């Protein structure tokens, strides 16, 4: 009589061990929700997925950078409009002071108000800040990282709208001649502010365009990453059930073979 029980046990034991390894991998996929939780599962897949995740995080940070840039430009826009209003009021006063009907007291009163206007312009230009950075005082241009990769930058130009930059140092309406000359100077200053407002509007549009692109890119990469790395939960659960059935079947087979072996040995005694 030939006994093949040892070969059957070895085969079943090896298959049980392989099945246990497969079950462990399946459980990891189910618990992490990822097909490529470890490099041993898919070295190339893990490398690609990690690169995608880095891009997603970079794009997310770039969007926050651009939101900060928009906040800077919104403050700039508000400050420029305030200065424009002050310049318009100054021009109105200069037109009035260019008339000989003003008394000396009228001119003194108007001069005091004009000085206050010039001071308010300098206060706005010198004190308006974002995160301690002066944004209307002629500081360096602001560079924004608008993408996840090197070189994806955008520059917000520096703005200097102090009275000195606008040619308003020494502005006076003490005489009719002074007032008449100031009208022309104020017209140039108002034109400068208008140009800065146009530039700020253009920069805001540029950032919004980059922001929309970043949102689209992030969405596309996120979708691609999901297709590459996310586990098909239903499929993996079915695999686990099948593996569990095979595992239990092999265990029963090993037990049965052991029993048969013991019976055969008893007969030989």
Out of 30-34, 109-113, 129-133, 139-143, pick the least confident.
30-34
Q: Tell me which architecture the domain covering 43-228 has in CATH.
A: Up-down Bundle (1.20)
Domain ranges (residues) in the chain: 5-32+233-263, 43-228
- pLDDT at residue 39 in the model: 44
Two structure tokens written together for 182: 């100031």
Query: What angle separates helix 43-97 from helix 176-229, to the nearest 10 degrees?
Result: 170
Phi, psi angles (nearest 5°) of residue 129: -130, 155
55-99 tens-digit pLDDT: 999 999 999 999 999 999 999 999 999 999 999 999 999 999 999
The pTM for the full model equals 0.69
- pLDDT at residue 104 in the model: 87
Query: What is the distance between the alpha carbons of residues 196 and 198, in angstroms, rounded to a whole number?
Result: 5
Query: What is the distance between the alpha carbons of residues 65 and 152, in angstroms, rounded to a whole number?
Result: 12
Say yes or no to pLDDT of 41 above 90. Answer: no
148-198 tens-digit pLDDT: 899 999 999 899 999 999 999 999 999 999 999 999 999 999 999 999 999
Q: Is 100 helix (H, G, I), strand (E, B) or coil?
A: coil
| DSSP run (H or E) holding 47 | helix 43-97
């Amino acid at each position: 009589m030939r006994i093949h029980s040892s070969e059957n046990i070895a085969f079943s034991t090896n298959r049980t061990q392989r099945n246990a390894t497969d079950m462990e991998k399946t459980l990891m996929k189910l618990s992490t929700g990822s097909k490529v939780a470890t490099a041993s599962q898919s070295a190339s897949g893990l490398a690609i997925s990690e690169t995608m995740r880095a891009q997603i995080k970079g794009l997310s940070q770039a969007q926050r950078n651009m939101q900060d840039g928009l906040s800077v430009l919104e403050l700039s826009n508000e400050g420029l409009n305030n200065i424009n209003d002050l310049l318009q009021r100054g021009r109105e006063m200069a037109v009035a002071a260019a008339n000989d009907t003003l008394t000396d007291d009228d001119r003194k009163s108007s001069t005091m108000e004009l000085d206050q206007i010039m001071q308010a312009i300098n206060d706005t230009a010198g004190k308006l800040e974002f995160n301690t950075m002066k944004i209307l005082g002629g500081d360096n241009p602001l560079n924004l990282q608008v993408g996840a990769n090197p070189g994806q930058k955008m520059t917000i130009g520096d703005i200097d709208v102090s009275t000195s930059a606008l040619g308003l140092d020494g502005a006076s309406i003490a005489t009719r001649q002074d007032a008449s000359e100031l009208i022309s100077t104020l017209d140039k200053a108002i034109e400068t502010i208008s140009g800065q407002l146009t530039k700020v509007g253009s920069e805001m549009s540029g950032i919004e365009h980059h922001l929309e692109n970043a949102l689209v890119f992030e969405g596309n990469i996120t979708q691609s990453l999901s297709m590459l790395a996310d586990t098909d939960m239903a499929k993996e659960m079915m695999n686990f059930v099948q593996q569990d059935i095979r595992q239990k079947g092999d265990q029963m087979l090993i037990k049965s073979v052991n029993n048969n072996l013991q019976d055969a040995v008893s007969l030989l005694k």
